[in-house]
Amino acid sequence: MRNAENALEVDQLSRVFDVSAPWLNRMIDRKPKRYLRAVQDVTFVVEKGKCLALVGESGCGKSTVARLVTGLYAPSEGAIVFAPADKGRGRGKPMEAQMIFQDPHASLNPRWRVGDIIAEPIREFGLRSGAEATEARVAELLRTVGLSPDDAKRYPHEFSGGQRQRISIARALASEPEFLVCDEPTSALDVSVQAQILNLMRRLQDELGLTYLFISHNLAVVRHMADRISVMYLGRIVEEADTEALFADPQHPYTRLLLQTIPDVAAPNRDRELMGGEPPSPLDPPKGCAFHPRCPMATDLCSKTAPEVRARKGGGTVACHLAPAA
C-alpha cells in the first residue's frame, strides 16, 4: 500500500479476453487469434470510507473492473491491493470485498430461505459460533436493511425487487466486509424504490464506515452517491476527479458529451443538438484516442497518438491531448 488512508489501490490493471474462433475454424479461415481488451491500464485508489464511482456506457469495461476487484476474474496485468482488514478474521479466506449485483431476481437462490442465504457467509467463515448466535446475527442484519426478522423464513420470490435488493445488501454485509462493490445496484428498480435503496446505502456507509466502489451508467445517481468519479470509455479511464469538480468543469470531451445528453428533470433541454456517433466495438478500437471518431474537437494528433493520462487542471487526471494544462 502506498498510503494507509486507502482502502483499495488498483495499479495499471488490464484484462484481455480471448474471443478467437475455435482452432479448426481458425485454421480453415486462416484467421489469427482475436483478443478483446476489456480493461486497459486502469489506475485508481479508493480512500477509506469514501465512494468512488465508475461511470460509462455499455461495453466500456466498468463491470469487468468490478469483477476483477472482487476476484471473479483474474487480472491479465496489474495489481489490486486492499488495505489489511482491521477486524480479526475467522477460518477460511478473509474477504475484503463483497459485491451487490444489478439484478436481485438472478442473484438470490430461489430454493433457499432468506435466512439461509444471509447465514451462509456467517457459517462459512465461522463468524458466529452456534446456531443461535447465527440466527441472532441474521435477524440483526435484516433489521439493519429495513426488513423484519420474520422475513428470514420466507423465500426470495415472496419479495418485491426493492426488498430483494435489501436482502442482497444484507448478504453482502454478513461477512462484515469493509469494502462493497456495487454493480448497478439500482438500475433494475423503480425510481421511488431506487431512492429507498440509495438512502439505505448512504446510511449504512455512515453507520458501518463502509467504502464503496459504485458502478453505474446513471450520472444523476452517481452524483448523489459518489465522492469521486472515474469516467471510462472503451476500457480506459478518460477523466477522474472529485464529484463537484467533475460536474463543475468537465474537461474530457466524452465527459462533456455524457453530461450534456442526460435528460434532467429540473432543467430539460428540449432543443438539444443531436450528438452523432456511437461507441465503437472494443474488438476493433480506433487508432490513437479511442474517442476521436466522435469527438467534435479532434485533431490529426488525436487520430495518431493515444493521449497519456496526465494531471487535470483543478485536481484529478484526464487523458486528452486538448485538455488544459494543469
Partner 1 sequence: MSIAHPPAADVLALDVKGLSVEFPTRKGVLTALSDVSLSIRRGEILGVVGESGAGKSMTGMAVLGLLEPPGRIAGGEIRIGGKRTDNLSEAEMAAIRGRMVGAIFQDPLTSLNPLFSVGQQLVETIRLHSERNKTEARVYAVDLLKQVGIPGANERIDHYPHQFSGGMRQRVVIALALAGNPQLIIADEPTTALDVSIQAQITALLRRLCREHGTGVMLVTHDMGVIAETADRVAVMYAGRVIEIGPVEEVLSRPKHPYTRGLMGSIPALGARVERLAQIDGAMPRLNAIPTGCAFNPRCLEAGSRCREVRPTMVAQAQGSVACLVHDGGVS
What cell numbers appear for 283 in the block? 474488438
Q: What is the spatial distance between Cα 151 and Cα 139, in angstroms, rounded to a whole number?
A: 9
Question: Among the candidate windows 65-73, 86-94, 99-107, 160-168, which touches partner 1 by CB under 8 A?
Answer: 160-168
In the chain, the largest separation of any two C-alpha atoms, in whole Å, equals 69
Which residues, in sequence order, are bridge partners of residue 52? 213, 228
Site string for partner 1, 103-132 (x = CB under 8 A): ------------------------------
CB of 4 to partner 1, least distance (A): 28
Report if residue 57 touches partner 1, rule: CB under 8 A. yes
Helix 161-174 with 131-144: angle, nearest 10 deg? 130
Q: What is the spatial distance between Cα 56 and Cα 218, in angstroms, rounded to a whole number?
A: 9
In this complex, which beta carbon is closest to partner 1, that of residue 86 or of residue 206? 206
Number of residues interacting with partner 1: please give it, by CB under 8 A.
Answer: 44
Residues 205-224 that bind partner 1 (CB under 8 A): 217, 219-221, 223-224
* SS3 of residue 295 by DSSP: coil
DSSP line for 215-237: EES-HHHHHHH-SEEEEEETTEE
Residues 256-275 that bind partner 1 (CB under 8 A): 257-259, 261-270, 272, 274-275
Give the number of other Cβ atoms within 10 Å of residue 294's Cβ: 18
**3, 25, 160, 305: which one binds partner 1 (CB under 8 A):** 160
Report if residue 161 touches partner 1, rule: CB under 8 A. yes
Binding residues for partner 1 (CB under 8 A): 57-58, 160-163, 190-196, 198-199, 202, 217, 219-221, 223-224, 243-244, 247, 257-259, 261-270, 272, 274-276, 278-279
